[in-house]
Amino acid sequence: MTVRRDFKEPARCRPDLVIGRDELYAAAREQLTRGGSVLLHGPAGIGKSTVLRALAADYGDAARTVLRCSATESESHLPFLALADLFGLVLDEISDKLPAAQRTALESALTGRGESTLQRDGLALRLAVLSALRALAAAGPVLLVADDLQWLDSASAELLGFAARRLGDTPVQLLCAVRTEGQEYDRQLRASPPDTLAVRLNPLSRAQVSALLDHRGYSDLPRSTMREIHRTSGGNPLFALELGRALGESPTPPRPGEPLPVPTSLRALVLSRLDMLSAEARRTLLVASAGARPTLALLHAAGRENAEAETARAAELGLLTTEPEGPAVRFAHPLISAALYAEAPAQERRAAHAALSTAASDPIERARNLALATTGTDPEVSARLAEAAALSRDRGAPSVAASLGLLAARHTPPDGTPAPDQHRLQAAEDAITAGEVDLAREIAREVLTRATVPADRIRAWEVVIEAAGQALGDVDAVFPQALADAGDDPRLLALVHYHLAWRKLIVEGDFSEARQEAAHAAELAARGDDRRTELMALSFQSSTETLMGHPNAPATIKQAMKEPQDPYVACHHNGVGAARFRWLMMSDQLAEARSTITALLREVRRRGMVESEVHFQRFLAETELRSGHCGRALDLARESLRLARDSGIGLGASAMLASLAEASGGDVDRALELAREAAGRAEEDGDQMYLSRALAALGHAQLVAGDAAGAVGSLRRVRELEAGLRITDPARGRWQGDLAEALVLVGEPGEAQDVIDVTREHALRLDRESVLAVLDRSEAMVRAALGDHEAALSRLTSVQDRLAKLGYGLEEARAAFALARLRTLRPGTALGPTSYDEAARLFRRCRALPWLRQVDAAAAEGAAAQQLAVVRQQPPSDVLEGLASMERQVAALVMEGATNREIAARLFISVKTVEATLTRVYRKLGIRSRVDIVRLAAGRHAK
């Protein structure tokens, strides 16, 4: 009886796998399914064993026999140990199937009885292993799972390699893992079957490390700490988990400038080779670990006279990597530097920083090291840190500025000027700019526990509100407290009312009230001579008016663009530049919108404004999507989503735009998934404004996926939401054409025409040319559904030309597709794939792959239909006169012999709509089936 090994893993192991390993897992799984073998490789702690176990558990059921061995370093000197693990439990089953000499050699090796060796029984043992695998495979597929191949005893490794190279078509697969550095897996690959796929496990991204720690219960760590964990661990999941555990167990988090608490387990793992260095060499490496960008010249300037020889020795031991093309001193892994620094006594660390405070050439580095070398308060140190923070801010490094600001606060005397809390508040604002909202919120809350000055309290409340992002409902209690702290100071009141305007929009969904609050905030700021807040309020007011379709929008934008301008507001994602971009997009000025957003994106990257970068990357993707550059839009949208997940900012909005990009140029299933994620986030945050955008993206993806009924359901909800929000400008979401098209497909042309008529009224008032063109395309489909093909053809030809002139490449291609379908399906028109050539060309130019697949499918259907007899157009029988228009058309086509699918294509409706319409026809005519309709037609011809 074959002994099967059950590799079902504990439940906790499986979710870890999907974090950052989806693609490689899928590739390995597909390789196994094809009958091939897989070799997983990568450095220690990278997750090879986790993936190996999950693959074995997932794929093991497909094999009749699963064998496993897992080697360890301490046992690697024992010959044939791995062989015993693999075959020990199945020896009884296969022994009688082996030739006597092979059986004796194998039993001797596995049991330890006798003195079998590769030198004495080499050929017999090699053939025995090969024969054993063939014997097992004769009863069914065999899966051999081996972990930590690097510790496999040499005898077992030689025997398995011999067999693996000779298995041929025998259904034996190997699933193995080996520890490697770089790409050093050739030796193991040569000992594997020829069809083996080598899969390298790379470090996790910051977002993936965050997800892993969150899954393991370390979800309360600030984002700045998570960033430091990712940097220190180098993306290694084992190292990240150990660091997260150490932080979770630490009673107090590390202060800025202090190292992460490196647990003993990791210190022992990476520092075991330090004992082979001299004490002086260790001090040299400590100075290198304390520096931001250590070089040999810096180490010399810091007093390390023998730096060359000492770093060369450290490189020989694998502690440092050599840099042949540069002078940098780089640790082989960030964890080595962190563990070395954490291991050093505090006095030695301060001495290293003191040396660097004079040796470093960069003023920021000098100030940082001076602070870390100093204990207690010191006004001079505080002043130098504040100057360094300002310099970091100017260089576009707000995260560094925040860290330096907190150090400045620590070294500022209680009665210093500026006060310690003012340094903290500046640090919190820098953290907001850098996208480190958790750190910013923590600082602001701490300041609020003791601050009494109204200006300081309002500044702290502002940080708390901004840190909430779209979830403003979570900080509702803040606003009454902030208003009370502001008193009657117009400058402070302006700040509070500006944020109240956002609350009105996001939480209450009231554009009109939000606009009034913004106008009030701008007025208060002007009275208080606060130009920055005035510009932010005017920008918000103009954006709101633009979305509402308010006639004052152009005038408010013009007012917001008057001098003097504030550089920060000019490039902020809620500032005047962004407001102008939105207006350009909605006014069909795509080229100018692209140049505007490109310049804004460049500036916020220079300034290190992470939140604005997330939004502007998304805006640029939207611009490219509108222009029909679907491939470029998809790349930008995916990058925006990656940045949003990495920073925790704008996740819903980025998922929404990524959904639109996927539906147009990527994977429709992924588009549906992202749209549902965006809608879920918006509902969770209580954000009605983005909920409507997310549902519009969902409806679009459903339409592209062929789910017209689902699209109608989603887009009807969008219509209800935007009516409640009083959004009248159809250029805001551009979902109306999709809704009308979906309604036609489900057999509701009347409702589709209503949507078109209402939307056209607003589009005409606001001069939205592209919206009007799309509405005309949708109306052509309504006309075609009602049987007026000539009017539909004429309108579609005009629409395609208009969209081309406006630069809306994808909408132009959709118009060409609709025109091709209409021409192909018009009664009396010859059918064939050539009708779709123009649509295919335009979609190919846009790289709109989902749409191109639809064109290919339609062309194929046309070619098949051409083989059928041309459908005769006949007037409906008198008995059909009591039916509604759609019912008459469906019944008449049934009389002509058309199938339900052919009727759906002819009338631009779904097959389900055809079936429902026929049910009504049967009921009205008192018949039971399609056959009875044909009989009615036959009766008419007989008269």
| Buried-exposed string 194-210: b where 16+ CB fall within 10 A, e elsewhere | eebbbbbbebbbbbbbb
One DSSP character per residue, 560-573 reads HTPSSP-HHHHHST
Q: Worst-scoring range by mean pLDDT, 666-680, 766-780, 834-848?
A: 834-848
Q: How confident is the model at residue 726 (pLDDT cuts 50, 70, 90)?
A: confident
Q: Worst-scoring range by mean pLDDT, 272-276, 444-448, 895-899?
A: 895-899
Distance between first and last Cα of the chain: 80
Residues 591-638: tens digit of each pLDDT:
999 999 999 999 999 988 988 999 999 999 999 999 999 999 999 999
Q: What is the DSSP letter of 167?
A: -
Residues 787-797: tens digit of each pLDDT:
888 888 888 88
CA 110 to chain centre: 51
Rounded Cα–Cα distance for residues 513 and 505 (Å):
8
CA 374 to chain centre: 42
pLDDT given for residue 826 in this prediction = 60
Residues 689-712: tens digit of each pLDDT:
889 999 999 999 999 998 999 999
* Residue, of 273 and 695, whose pLDDT is higher: 695
pLDDT given for residue 210 in this prediction = 84
- Per the listing, tokens 């070799």 go with 39
Beta carbons of 565 and 579 less than 8 angstroms apart? no
pLDDT given for residue 164 in this prediction = 85
Q: Is the pLDDT of residue 124 over 50?
A: yes
Q: How confident is the model at residue 16 (pLDDT cuts 50, 70, 90)?
A: very low
What is the number of other CB atoms lying within 10 angstroms of the CB of residue 273? 13
- How far is residue 600 from each of residues 396, 553, 569, measured CA to CA in Å? 14, 21, 11
> What percent of the chain has pLDDT above 90?
44
pLDDT given for residue 695 in this prediction = 96
Section 83-90 average pLDDT: 84
Q: How confident is the model at residue 280 (pLDDT cuts 50, 70, 90)?
A: very high
Q: Is the pLDDT of residue 760 over 60?
A: yes
Q: Is the pLDDT of residue 3 over 90?
A: no
Sheet holding 142-147, edge to edge: 65-70, 142-147, 172-179, 37-42, 196-200
Q: Is the pLDDT of residue 13 over 60?
A: no
Residues 290-348: tens digit of each pLDDT:
988 899 999 999 999 999 999 989 988 888 886 655 578 888 888 888 888 888 898 99
What is the number of other CB atoms lying within 10 angstroms of the CB of residue 97? 14
Closest CA to 753 of 729, 714, 794, 786: 786
pLDDT given for residue 187 in this prediction = 66
* Residue, of 224 and 841, whose pLDDT is higher: 841
Q: How confident is the model at residue 112 (pLDDT cuts 50, 70, 90)?
A: low
In three-state secondary structure terms, 203 is coil
Tokens of 134: 């063939």
Section 418-427 average pLDDT: 95
Beta carbons of 73 and 79 less than 8 angstroms apart? no
Beta carbons of 388 and 367 less than 8 angstroms apart? yes
> What percent of the chain has pLDDT above 70?
90
Rounded Cα–Cα distance for residues 150 and 185 (Å):
10
pLDDT given for residue 851 in this prediction = 93
Beta strands in 219-328 (DSSP E): 320-321
Section 153-165 average pLDDT: 84
Q: Is the pLDDT of residue 113 over 70?
A: no
Phi and psi at residue 66, to the nearest 5°: -120, 120
